[in-house]
């Protein structure tokens, strides 16, 4: 049997869910949350989690969604920062996006910019 992987930060998410539930209970009682010291709410969190074990299932699912979103963000960032070196080298040498004269340009031209943005050529 494969062990269940619990996402990182699940306990933090569980405490957050419990804190929001406690705040909602106080609101339902007519208490203004801004007038309740955070210490009072935070002291009630462990007892609330002990009384409501279903919070852990919600916390695991929420933490898993957070991790997946973070992985997608990191993958997009890695993809964005990868440089297509074969096209960049051609641009630096002055072989792309310019006329046939042999002098290199300081401005790479639209071909080099689109080559850089599109990724490596096949």
Give the model's pLDDT for residue 120. 54
Structure confidence at residue 29 (pLDDT): 95
53-84 per-residue burial string, b: 16 or more CB within 10 A, e: under 16: eebbeebbebbeebeeeeeeeeeeeeeeeeeb
Spatial contact of 121 and 89, defined as CB atoms under 8 Å apart = no
Q: Which residue has the higher pLDDT, 32 or 116?
A: 32
Contact indicator for 67, 12 with CB cutoff of 8 Å: no
Closest by Cα among 51, 60, 69, 47 to 14: 60
Q: Please state, as a whole number, how many other Cβ atoms lie within 10 Å of the Cβ of residue 52.
A: 14
- The model's pLDDT over 99-114, given as tens digits with 9 standing for 90+, comes to 444 455 555 555 555 5
Average confidence score pLDDT of the chain:
78
Task: Take residue 61 and report the two structure tokens written for it.
Answer: 């699912």
Region of residue 53 (left: phi > 0; alpha: psi -120 to 50; beta: else) = alpha
pLDDT one-digit tens code per residue, 52-77: 999 999 999 999 999 999 999 988 88
């Amino acid at each position: 049997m494969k062990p269940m992987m619990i996402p990182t930060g699940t306990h933090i998410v569980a405490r957050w869910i419990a804190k929001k539930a406690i705040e909602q209970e106080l609101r339902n009682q007519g208490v203004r949350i801004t007038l309740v010291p955070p210490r009072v709410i935070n002291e009630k969190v462990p007892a609330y989690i002990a009384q409501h074990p279903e919070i852990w299932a919600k916390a695991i699912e929420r933490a898993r969604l957070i991790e997946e979103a973070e992985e997608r963000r990191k993958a997009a960032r890695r993809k964005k920062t990868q440089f297509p070196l074969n096209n960049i080298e051609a641009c630096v040498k002055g072989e792309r996006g310019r006329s046939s004269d042999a002098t290199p340009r300081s401005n790479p031209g639209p071909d080099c910019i689109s080559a850089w943005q599109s990724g490596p050529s096949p």
